Amino acid sequence: MKVFVTGAGGFTGMALLKRLVARGDGVVAFDIAISEPLRALTDGGADVTAVVGDATSLPHLAQAFRAHRPDAVVHLAAAVGAGPTMGNPWRVMEVNVGGSLNVMEAMRLFDVKRMIFLSTEETWGEMNEINTETDYQVPFLPYGISKLA
């Protein structure tokens, strides 16, 4: 299976890439920049193709989907971190909501039917006890709000 991973150069992305490669999947690692760990993985002979692109750009995504024809997507790309997300909530929404919409549109355009989307515990807001599926999610930071949206 060929898996397209957005945000592939981050902590979670790199851990996922290693697992996908270990089980024999081909991987398209899509990120805004190629990190050194990602470069080492692609240079190490693994079936990983690194693609520089921005999830907020549908043309970037469409070009990568056209070139690599993935079977599935794992969408990890996000604007994270308390500093950056508090200082520019518009950018957080652009990346986390707009980027997600672009990924789903690229999937529609190229008939990719399988997606895994990772969210965050920050969608719950203040947690004073263990939450259940029937509890309300009330995020209060831009990152949590954008991931719930």
CA 143 to CA 84: how far, in whole Å? 10
| Helix locations, 8-81, DSSP H | 11-22, 36-43, 58-68
Pick from 43, 14, 45, 47: nearest CA to 28: 47
Catalytic residue (one of 30, 143, 145, 146):
143
Residue 143 bears catalytic tag: yes
Sign of CA dihedral 139, 11, 109, 3: negative
Pick from 74, 79, 57: nearest CA to 112: 74
CA 15 to CA 13: how far, in whole Å? 5
The residues that are catalytic are 143
